[in-house]
Structure 1
Amino acid sequence: MTAKERLLGGAIDYIATNGAADLSLRQVAKAIGTSHRMLIYHFASKEGLLIEVVRAVEERQRMLFAELNADESTDVGEMARRFWQRLSAAENWPYVRLLFEIYGRALQGDQRSRPLLDGLVESWLPPLTEWGIQRGLPPEKARAYARLGVAVPRGLLLDLMATGDKAAVDEAMDLFITSYETLLS
């Protein structure tokens, strides 16, 4: 593991727990046992660090998806439900809040946060498109379904963060997953 990877790992947990709004690089550095100069060296700025944190969390989610997808004996609905359970688990809520915090900054025009938007949806489309095609979606529609497969869980995660109503959000997600099962049967 490189120095940058170690720093990023510590920063992910610290920032997810403490948020990013009033965060300084000095605070992060002190909490993870380094200097703010090292963070600047590796990430260029606070916003650079935040973008790397969100991208790393997103990559973890894609790796989880790939891990669950590797078990070919699992049917579509079961795999999607397992993914949603892990994604929406309470221990992930700090990371979800952080994603939406930085997402909001970028959407409000914060030029330093704007690079976060690059690939935030696009990075999910190839694996989800391929997943859909492998399970019988028409290839000409698979990319649109993949985009829906990104948007619905993100929207429900936002709902969960706003309302805390896990049962209602889980029910909505189950309805969405059931629609996929129906489509593929």
Structure 2
Amino acid sequence: MERKDPKRALLDKAVDHLSEHGVIGRSLRQLAAELGTSHRMLIYHFGSMEGLLVEVVREVEARQRAVLADLDGAGSPVDLAKAFWRRFTDPALYPNERLFFELYGQALQGRPGTEALLPEVVTAWIEPLVAIGKSHGLSEQDARVHARLGVAVTRGLLLDLLATGDLAAVNAAMDRFVDMYVVGLP
């Protein structure tokens, strides 16, 4: 049986725990105790609480991009967009999405150590979405514009969902956006 890398194991535990309980009000020592480790091990692997939080967001986002990659090739751009949206609105993912927005907000507020998220929180999605756009006939420039718009709409509607809990309304809004938007695609 293959052993998981200790840093990887801690990161996975932290993602699950923080998704369920959030970040606000937790010290590094408290979080370490909740994860069944010491604060020294968290510092060793992540440098600081903020370093851990940055890695948590990166991991959550990487998991979501893996879902996108798994869905790519699942049909038309409309089918892909709607399948991806339905995956994001799975209630099992709500804790991760709340955590993402919590940490994103902290980075926007300039919490020391979290600013590293800002350059990649959008750009990490651009290249995979550009590749999909180009595979469906878009030029490089158009694919980049479409990718950025797709990230913005998806994040906005996810925030709406988390704030209101109105899944039917956000699904209707995303479906309308996708249906209207793809009219302009080649």
> Shorter-normalised TM-score: what interval?
over 0.9
> What's 2:32 paired with?
29
Counterpart amino acid of 2:133?
G
- Deviation digits for residues 109-168 of structure 1, max 9, x if unmatched? 223221111211111111111111111223321101110111110011111111111111
- CA change 1:153–1:7 in 2 (3 A) is same
Residues 17-67 of structure 1 deviation map (CA, whole Å, 9 limit, x = unaligned): 110001122232222221111011001111111110011000001111001
Map 1:21-60 to 2 at 5 A: 21-60=24-63
Distance 2:135 2:108 in 1: 34
Mind listing any 5+ residue stretches in structure 2 that lack a counterpart? none
Query: Alpha-carbon deviation of 1:85?
Result: 1.0
Q: How many residues align?
A: 183
Task: Give the letter aligned to residue 185 of structure 2.
Answer: L
Structure 1 residue 169, shift from structure 2 partner: 0.7
**1:114 aligned counterpart, secondary structure:** coil
Identical residues among aligned pairs (%): 50
1:119 counterpart residue number: 120
**Structure 2 CA distance for aligned equivalents of residues 80 and 177 of structure 1:** 7
What is the RMSD computed on CA atoms of the aligned residues?
A: 1.4
Distance verdict in 2 for CA 1:132–1:42, change over 3 Å: same
1:6 to 9, 16, 19: 9
- Paired position in structure 2 for 1:153: 154
**TM-score (normalised: structure 2):** 0.92
The aligned residue for residue 168 of structure 2 is 167
After superposing on structure 2, the runs of 4+ consecutive aligned residues of structure 1 that deviate more than 6 Å are: none
